[in-house]
Amino acid sequence: MLSTLIYRSHLYDDVPMKSLKELVNKANKFNELLGVTGILLFNGTHFFQLLEGPEEAVSQIYDRICEDKRHHNVVQLMRDYAPARRFGNAGMELFDLTKYDRPSVLEAVLDKGTSKYQLTYDDRALQFLRSFVESKERENYFEIPLDGSWDFIPDTSREIDGGPALARQEAFSFAFQPIIDPLALEIVSLEALIRTPEGGSPHEYFAQLPQEDIYEADLKAKKLAFAMAKNLGMEGLTLSINLLPMSLVMVPNAVEFLLQEIHANGLVPEQIVVEVTENEVISRIDEFETAIRQLKSAGMSLAIDDFGAGSAGLLLLARIQPDTIKIDRSLISDVHKSGPKQAILQAILKCCSALEISVIAEGVEKPEEWMWLESAGIFNFQGFLFARPRLNGIPAVAWPEKLNPLG
Ligand code: C2E
Ligand code: MN
Ligand code: MN
């Protein structure tokens, strides 16, 4: 099957322009061997390449390209299939956009086309090509610094090892994971994540309960979350708790129960963020809305958890606007390499900005992910890069520190 891959990347400043021709000649030998053709554009800073060929071969060449040390910020823009090659000439010509004047440049590029039909713009690949030639998307290229330009230094000043006694011998416990503003060096919230007493996952805990007890167990468990949080010290922090949406709907007086336990533990409702996932909500949205009205009237905030991972994301958002959206890890991971994820995140951010909804990126594991997200305008993060959840305690936070500030 003929597959198409498009990426863009950034040439390192210290690579001499002269060496590009040689680079291309070398690459072409390999491309030819694997039956991969295409076109390579260079605009003085960025490369844009369209690769066409057998699927396996295109993947193999792209992997090599990603490893190449002469460029960085390699972002895959498109992967698709086509009936015929658009640029089928043997070898991949390097097309230097800076050598042409603006009005003729696009035409000159298209002259390289080999398709038997005239190349037309109802083709996504050619739309990408045009956008690059016209620098249409350039403001969305975030040039993140190299990996290694930040160091992550664990700060133990707020670390607490509560030990099992903190959980008071219940049949479950909680781990706490900070949500942070890395550049302000600030913990903004602690999220309470349910555990078995030995530290087993939420799934493990809920799986051993009879189905009909789950909602009640979920809600009532929050009593311990509040008590543990109180003992850990919540000054200046919010506490984020997770609830199945139906725990708020199915358990009578759920919100009253939460309020009573919040006060009993010396906390205030304004400190509590209730996180719910989209799952289940949409099927009983009216009852869910009633519960949310109560939550909000009492002063608690609402966060939609795992945003983007469910099926009802935008529909739910059209009905209910939460205070915060937590973007699911599936959209965050390797965002610095993925054009589609970048475009989706930018749309989510634009939407949240218009609606004054704050945004947290979840599950950040790589410095490059964090740097891309910061450039995109996200300031609050949760993830193993900064801190893993700590059973019965608060973990140390690894704050980013810029290395070589003059470089
Ligand atoms: P969640 O609310 O999205 O919580 C974040 C989950 O992602 C946690 O998993 C956390 O350990 C994990 N995580 C955080 N940073 C990273 C990262 O950088 N990489 C990766 N791979 N994972 C990361 P955990 O603790 O296993 O919780 C799973 C889910 O269980 C939670 O997802 C939440 O939806 C649910 N849950 C936790 N506590 C409760 C609860 O008390 N009630 C209910 N109903 N659900 C809960
Ligand atoms: Mn959560
Ligand atoms: Mn989540």
> Structure tokens of 55?
């699927």
Residue 305 pLDDT grade (very low, low, confident, very high; cuts 50, 70, 90): very high
Query: How buried is 35 (Cβ within 10 angstroms: 0-12 exposed, 13-18 middle, 19+ buried)?
Result: middle
Q: Mean pLDDT throughout 133-158? A: 88
Poorest-pLDDT segment among 141-145, 232-236, 373-377 = 141-145
CA–CA dist 46, 71 (Å, integer) = 9
pLDDT at residue 282 above 80?
A: no
Q: Within a 10 A sphere around the Cβ of 198, how many other Cβ atoms?
A: 9
Q: Is 207 near ligand 1, meaning CB less than 6 Å away?
A: no
- For residue 311, the model assigns a pLDDT of 66
Q: How far, in Å, from the CA of 310 to the mean position of ligand 2?
A: 14
Q: Which residue has the higher pLDDT, 238 or 315?
A: 238
The pLDDT, as a whole number, for residue 79 is 97
Atom of ligand 1 nearest to the CA of 384: 18
Burial group, residue 118, by CB count within 10 angstroms (0-12, 13-18, 19+)? exposed
Domains of the chain: 2-140 (3.30.70.100), 150-402 (3.20.20.450)
What's the 222 CA to ligand 2 centre distance in angstroms? Answer: 13
Nearest CA to ligand 1 atom 21: 363
CA atoms of 387 and 394, how far apart (whole Å): 9
Please report, rounded to a whole number, the percentage of residues in the chain having pLDDT higher than 90: 74
In angstroms, the CA 255 to CA 247 distance is 10
User: How much distance in Å is there from the Cα of 49 to the middle of ligand 3?
Assistant: 35
Judge whether residue 23 has pLDDT over 90: no
| Residue of higher predicted confidence among 312 and 253 | 253
Residue 95 pLDDT exceeds 60? yes
Atom of ligand 1 nearest to the CA of 218: 42
Task: Give the per-residue pLDDT at 116.
Answer: 65
Q: Could you give the percent of the chain with pLDDT greater than 70?
A: 97
Ligand 1 atom 37: residue of nearest CA? 193
Q: How many angstroms separate the CA atoms of 233 and 264, rounded?
A: 15
**Ligand 1 neighbour 369 (Cβ under 6 A):** no
Vertex 164 angle, CA 255 and 271, to 5°: 30
- The tens digit of pLDDT for each residue in 172-190 reads 999 999 999 999 999 999 9
Summary mean pLDDT of the chain: 92
Mean pLDDT over 301-316 rounds to: 87
Q: How confident is the model at residue 22 (pLDDT cuts 50, 70, 90)?
A: confident
Tokens representing residue 338 in the block: 């993925």
Report the pLDDT value the prediction gives residue 283, as an integer from 0 to 100: 77
Give the closest residue (by CA) to ligand 1 atom 4.
193
Using left for φ > 0, alpha for ψ between -120 and 50, and beta otherwise, residue 181 falls in beta
201 lines ligand 1 (CB under 6 A): yes
Question: Which distant-in-sequence residues (6+ apart) come within 8 Å of 358 by Cβ?
Answer: 323, 324, 325, 352, 380
Q: What is the mean pLDDT of residues 221-249?
A: 96
Distance 369 CA to ligand 3 centre (A): 16
Give the CA count within 13 Å in the CB-facing half-sphere of 47.
28
Is the C-beta atom of 327 inside 6 A of ligand 1? no
Distance CA 82, CA 125 (A): 10
Model pLDDT for residues 99-124, shown as the tens digit of each residue: 988 788 888 888 888 876 666 667 99
Q: How far is the CA of 85 from the centre of ligand 1 (A)?
A: 45
User: Does residue 310 line the site of ligand 1, with CB under 6 A?
Assistant: no
Confidence of residue 191 (pLDDT cuts 50, 70, 90): very high
C-alpha count within 13 angstroms, C-beta hemisphere, residue 320: 28
Most confident residue range from 63-67, 140-144, 281-285: 63-67
Residue 121: per-residue pLDDT = 64
Confidence check: pLDDT of 405 > 60: no
This prediction's pTM: 0.94
| Bridge partner residues of 72 (DSSP) | 10
Task: Name the more confident of 113 and 195.
Answer: 195
Q: What is the pLDDT of residue 315?
A: 87
Q: Count of residues for the chain?
A: 407
pLDDT, residue 406, reads 55
Which of 248, 346, 236, 336 is closest to 288 using CA atoms?
248
At 176, list the tokens: 């706490």
Greatest Cα pair distance, the chain, in angstroms, is: 76
Residues 6+ apart with CB under 8 A from 268: 262, 299
The predicted model gives 290-302 an average pLDDT of 97
Q: Say which DSSP state 181 is in.
A: E
Residue nearest to atom 46 of ligand 1 (CA): 242
pLDDT over 80 at 91, yes or no: no
Mean predicted confidence (pLDDT) in 363-381: 97
Cα–Cα distance measured from residue 233 to residue 266, given in angstroms and rounded to the nearest whole number: 11
Question: Pairing relation of β-strands 324-327 and 94-96?
Answer: unpaired
